[in-house]
Amino acid sequence: MSDAQKSDPGLYDYAPYRGRPKIKWQDGKTCAVWVAPNLEYYELDPAVNPYRKSWPKPHPDVVGYSHRDHANRVSHWRMAEMMTKHGFPGSVSLSVALCDHIPEVVEDANQRGWEFFSHGIYNTRYSYGMDEAQERAIIEDSITTVERATGQRIRGWLAPALTHTPRTLDLLAEYGMDYTCDLYHDDQPTDVKVKSGQLTAIPYSLEVNDHYGFFIYNMSPRDYADTLIRQYDRLAEEGAQSGTVMCIPLHSYLIGQPHRIGPFEAVLEHIAADGRAWITKAGDIVDAFRKQAGGVL
């Protein structure tokens, strides 16, 4: 790969927000809203990747590990129940090893009708430094593990701990994945330039991710809830011109804490009552986009 290619990976053409073709969501809805719970497994004493430390502290990182373990013991159940109560399905960013470790959580999500995409094997194993065979191995592992555990064929990918190689997107398309959650350049879906097949970048979000809200921006739970409501209101308004997408990426060990889940409920109530939201799953948004835009964006 040349330096020029490295500098601009050429993932998509520039497409200004003004004057775009109109995307129409079903029933006149203006904003497609999808909730992306990260269902993860972090290892207590993981193998070492030379490019990134797994834990900031020496192992065992008791707070780091046990905070995340709170997800599977406590807060997943709290978060999932609330989403179901207000009619929000999940599109799950899954550490696929969770299918082996805590099948109860994966089965619960599957029974609620949620969709799964891969977030790698563990969130403590990174793609940095993988050769092609190794990266193929984790993609194939993801496909077969999720299919065995849930009967679902995964259609999407969020790189484990957001670690990529320059070939990741091409490989995803080659294996028939329909969407990636790894690109943050737009509020509408975009087709990605890949060597073969078709891959759509669906808007995910770092900015309104609960991790960013609570640990980058240090928001209180009520401030975070207010942020989500503002984000939704604006996207629903702009979506009258051409349909927008809002993703709410969650980590149950954060949003499912007792001081946060109550304020968060107000967000789901607001969006559900507004009337402009198409509350759906990632794969359905990608399908609707492809049917009409044909990948023009």
Partner 1 sequence: MSLDPSYLDYPKRRRGMDHDYYPYSSLFDRKPVQWPDDKRLLIWPVVSLEYFPMVPNDDPFRAPEHMQTAYPDYRHYTAREYGTRIGIYRLLGAFEKVGAKVSVATNSVIAERYPQLIADIVSGGHEIIAHSTDMNGTIASGLTEVEEKALIEASLAALEMATGTRPRGWLSIARSQSFNTAKLLTEAGVDYMCDWVNDELPYAFQTDAGAITNIPLNHELSDRQIINVQQQSVDSYAEQMMDAADWLLAEAEHYGGRMMPMHLTPYIMGLPYRIGSFEKLIADLVERTDIGFARGDTILDSWMAQQ
Q: Where on the chain is the footprint of partner 1 (CB under 8 A)?
A: 41, 43-45, 47, 49-50, 57-60, 62-63, 65-70, 72-74, 77-78, 97, 100-104, 121-122, 125, 129-131, 133-134, 137-138, 165, 214, 218, 220-222, 257-263
Considering the complex, state which of residue 121 and residue 236 has its C-beta at the smaller distance from partner 1: 121
Shortest Cβ distance from residue 39 to partner 1 (Å)? 14
DSSP 8-state class, residue 192: E
What's the token pair of residue 139?
A: 């993609």
First CA to last CA distance, the chain: 26
CB distance 134 to 55 below 8 Å = no
- Do 128 and 121 form a contact (C-beta atoms < 8 A)? no
Q: Is the dihedral of CA 198, 202, 206, 211 positive or negative?
A: negative
Complex with partner 1: residue 111 or 292, whichever CB lies closer: 111
Using CA atoms, how far residue 21 sits from 32, 103, 226, 294, in Å, is 16, 43, 31, 11
Choice between 62 and 206, CB closer to partner 1: 62
Closest to partner 1 by CB, 2 vs 218, is 218
Minimum distance from residue 60 beta carbon to partner 1 (Å)? 6
* Nearer residue to partner 1 within complex by CB, 260 or 281: 260
Identify which of 161, 259, 272 has the alpha carbon closest to the alpha carbon of residue 219.
Answer: 259
CB of 88 to partner 1, least distance (A): 18
- Rounded to whole angstroms, the Cα distance separating 118 from 129 reads 19
CB atoms under 10 Å from CB of 14, counted, come to: 5
Alpha helices in the chain (DSSP H): 3-7, 62-70, 76-85, 98-101, 103-111, 132-150, 168-174, 210-211, 221-238, 252-255, 261-274, 282-293
Separation between Cα atoms, residue 247 and residue 130, nearest integer Å: 29
Closest CB to partner 1 among 124 and 200? 124
Q: How far is the CB of 47 from partner 1 (least distance, A)?
A: 5
Q: Which residues pair with 246 in a beta bridge?
A: 33
Q: Which is nearer to partner 1, 245 or 261 (CB)?
A: 261
* 232 DSSP β-pair partners: none
Which SS3 state, helix, strand or coil, does residue 99 take?
Answer: helix
Give the shortest CB-121-to-partner 1 separation in angstroms: 7
Min separation Cβ 20 and partner 1, Å: 38
| Closer residue to partner 1 in complex, CB, 163/205 | 163
